[in-house]
């Protein structure tokens, strides 16, 4: 990664390939913007480009920041198991591992799983709009939201839904960018014309009043139009005290599903699934040892002993 230039409007960073550039935007774009906007000299945003043709003096290939929002239903994606990398249809790429088939269901998360399945099968069904998933870090909220996106994509030939999945942080930065670029009308239209909007980590909007107001109006427009909203946060709507009362009320008017901390039995099942995926034979006593000591499901994901 190379820092090309810094001016009052933006900092420009170059990477050698398109894949690295896209990966940086998908997983670090929001964080890079946040860092630069808090550092002197303050810049409005970060632009990441492909450093193609540096030796011959050719111009850098620019990626407009942030990536554009969906303008049409998802089209057939010949991904071959790779991530969906089309920024015109999904603001953030879906993680290929996060499907319903790979979600290990147990008593702590069975309600959230069942609700997510219902939404994927019938978006905007009565009583399930909005769907609010809440729980601690690493309990499967993001996994279920990605799984909804993959399930809708798998059924695209029968029901071509347009979908946006994004973090609340990205929602805020795109809203700010639309104000800076005098494109707020386009921003509103793009968000309010999708069939399914999924916003992750809504607690990020606490204390950000203007962004909360924009999200509230987007929320109302979509629900009133019979479109599906899926939201996740670390707490239930009633416990998100930093959000406006009217927004908390609206968030709780559909289905609220809590994902509880994993039990010993669920951790065993997760470890067994990881071992099966890696074609590794792990002695039951070893799995029990790990399940007793790796209490957090977030830590379960890093248990590389199972993956070899």
Q: Per-residue pLDDT tens for 162-209?
A: 999 999 999 999 999 899 989 999 999 989 999 999 999 999 999 999
Is residue 148 domain-shared with residue 272, that is, in the same domain?
no
pLDDT of 65 higher than 50: no
Chain-centre distance for alpha carbon 198: 7
pLDDT tens for 206-251 read 999 999 999 999 999 999 999 999 999 999 999 998 899 999 999 9
Q: How confident is the model at residue 63 (pLDDT cuts 50, 70, 90)?
A: very low
Domain that holds residue 285: 264-307
Residue 117, in any domain of the structure: yes
- Rounded to 5°, angle at Cα 160 from 154 and 166: 75
Is residue 166 domain-shared with residue 41, that is, in the same domain?
no
Residue 87, in any domain of the structure: no
pLDDT of 86 higher than 60: no
What is the side-by-side order of every strand in the sheet holding 10-15? 2-6, 10-15, 45-50, 61-62
Residue 99, in any domain of the structure: no
Percent helix, percent strand, percent coil in the chain, to nearest 5: 40, 15, 45
**The pLDDT value given to residue 45:** 61
Residue 73, in any domain of the structure: no
Q: What is the CA radius of gyration of the chain?
A: 21
pLDDT tens for 240-291 read 988 999 999 999 999 999 999 888 888 888 888 888 887 888 888 888 888 8
Is residue 270 domain-shared with residue 209, that is, in the same domain?
no
Is residue 130 domain-shared with residue 185, that is, in the same domain?
yes
**The pLDDT value given to residue 274:** 84
> Residue 119: CB partners within 8 Å, gap ≥ 6?
125, 128, 129, 131, 148, 228, 230
pLDDT of 305 higher than 50: no
* Domains held by the chain: number: 3
- To 10 degrees, the CA torsion angle through 177, 180, 182, 185? 30
Phi and psi at residue 250, in whole multiples of 5°? -65, -40
Residue 84, in any domain of the structure: no
Is residue 245 domain-shared with residue 162, that is, in the same domain?
yes
Residue 150, in any domain of the structure: yes
């Amino acid at each position: 990664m190379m820092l090309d230039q810094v001016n009052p409007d933006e900092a420009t960073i170059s990477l050698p390939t398109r894949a690295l550039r896209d990966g940086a935007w998908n997983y670090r774009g929001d964080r890079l913007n946040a860092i630069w906007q808090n550092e002197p000299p303050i810049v409005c945003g970060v632009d990441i480009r492909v450093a193609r043709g540096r030796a011959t003096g050719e111009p850098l290939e620019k990626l407009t920041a942030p990536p554009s929002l969906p303008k049409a239903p998802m089209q057939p994606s010949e991904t071959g198991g790779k991530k969906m990398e089309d920024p015109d249809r999904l603001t953030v790429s879906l993680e290929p591992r996060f499907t319903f088939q790979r979600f290990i269901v147990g008593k702590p998360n069975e309600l959230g799983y069942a609700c997510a399945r219902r939404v994927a099968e019938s978006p905007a069904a009565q009583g399930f709009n909005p769907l609010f998933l809440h729980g601690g870090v690493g309990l499967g909220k993001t996994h279920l939201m990605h799984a909804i996106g993959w399930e809708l994509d798998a059924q695209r030939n029968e029901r071509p839904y347009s979908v946006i999945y994004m973090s609340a942080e990205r929602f805020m930065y795109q809203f700010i960018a639309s104000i800076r670029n005098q494109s707020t009308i386009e921003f509103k239209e793009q968000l309010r014309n999708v069939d399914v909007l999924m916003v992750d980590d809504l607690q990020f909007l606490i204390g950000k009043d203007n962004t909360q107001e924009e999200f509230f109006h987007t929320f109302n427009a979509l629900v009133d139009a019979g479109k599906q909203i899926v939201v996740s946060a670390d707490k239930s709507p009633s416990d998100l005290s930093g959000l406006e009362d009217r927004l908390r009320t609206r968030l709780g008017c559909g289905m609220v599903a809590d994902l509880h901390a994993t039990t010993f039995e669920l951790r065993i099942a997760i470890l067994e699934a990881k071992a099966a995926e890696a074609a590794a034979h792990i002695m039951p006593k070893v799995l029990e040892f790990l399940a007793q000591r790796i209490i957090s499901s977030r830590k379960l994901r890093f248990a590389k002993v199972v993956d070899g």
